[in-house]
Amino acid sequence: MEAAIQKEIQTTGVQMIAVTKDWLKDFGIQIAKQTRQELEDELRMNREEDLIPRNTTIERLNVDPSTLWRWEKQKYLLPVRIGGKVYYRKSDIDNLINGGR
């Protein structure tokens, strides 16, 4: 049987890897832990910097909502999305108000 598998691999170019269910479970847990840590790090970084809600940003900059959309597409002012809500970094807004980019 092993010879038949080897022949199939050679003719089709398909390779097979056997793993145990325990290994696969451990691998999944490892990926979940790593992803969770990355998300926690990002949230911690965002918490450390003041975030301004979208509507407040519109008022502070005295712009139309479509302007924020356009600036995002141009990578001029990038939003931070948390739980379906849109925020902007206070430092980015202050830079725009003070003439920087």
Supply angle C-alpha 49, 96, 76, rounded to 5. 85
Least confident of 15-19, 20-24, 80-84, 96-100: 15-19
Helical ranges in 13-89 per DSSP H: 21-48, 54-61, 65-73
Contact 59, 88 (CB under 8 A): no
Q: Above 80 in pLDDT, residue 15?
A: no
Task: Indicate the pLDDT class of residue 1, thresholds 50, 70 and 90.
Answer: low
pLDDT tens-digit series, residues 49-63: 788 999 999 999 999
Contact 48, 42 (CB under 8 A): no
pTM (2 d.p.): 0.53
Q: Quote the CA–CA distance of 68 and 35 in Å, as a whole number.
A: 30
